[in-house]
Structure 1
Amino acid sequence: MNGTEEIGCCGAYCKTCREFEKTCKGCKPGYLDGSRDLRRVKCRMKKCCLTRGHITCADCDEYEHCETIQSFINHPGYKYSKYKQALEYIRAHDYAAFMKTAENWKNAYGKYHEQDN
């Protein structure tokens, strides 16, 4: 997956989290290889995304009309707007461009290069 397993279905960049792979397994590890049971997932967004074989919700043809992702990314709060920005950046560019942009982030979201906005 070229590091994309570190991007949450919602657009969060999980790699920056101190707890990632310690106490938090993130959205994808274990589900992709079958060691965690996808049928037991409580997050509707994750279940839908992974069941459909998507890397993130950005890959979905129903993205713009999906009540689940749209209600999440349009929720009040700065972090949600940043997750929305990440998904829309991925849709506009690609995962390689996102990974390059995110490589020096210290949080689950960060700044984008001026020319990339």
Structure 2
Amino acid sequence: MPDTLSQTFSALADPTRRAMLAHLSRGEASISDLGKPFRKRMSLPAITKHVKVLERAGLITKARRAQQRPCKINPEALKDVANWMEQYRQYWEESFDRLDAYLKTVTANTNEPKTGDTDEHSN
């Protein structure tokens, strides 16, 4: 069984591919449209390779319409990433809640007058 999560994170590690996914979050696009922002610094074959990485990771799908191959985002693949990350979000949230509770007890203890402390000028 392939490690799809590793494949997904590997695909997401590249800023070009993340930009392509951001573009696709607004709707279908052709490979040519996805590559427009990168044409000055990247060849069409390089753009196509990025699209293939996204497709292999399951992040996008390509349809066939006559001569066109429009791409669209596959939200299910991102759902797996979100589910994996959720367990760590919960861990950190619980840790910060415990730290907050501890800091409140420490603060409360430092604000309480100590036993035997009196104000010398109260007479």
Q: Which TM-score bucket, shorter chain as reference?
A: under 0.3
The alignment's TM-score, normalised by the length of structure 1, stands at: 0.25
TM-score w.r.t. structure 2 length?
0.24
Q: Which has the higher helix share?
A: 2
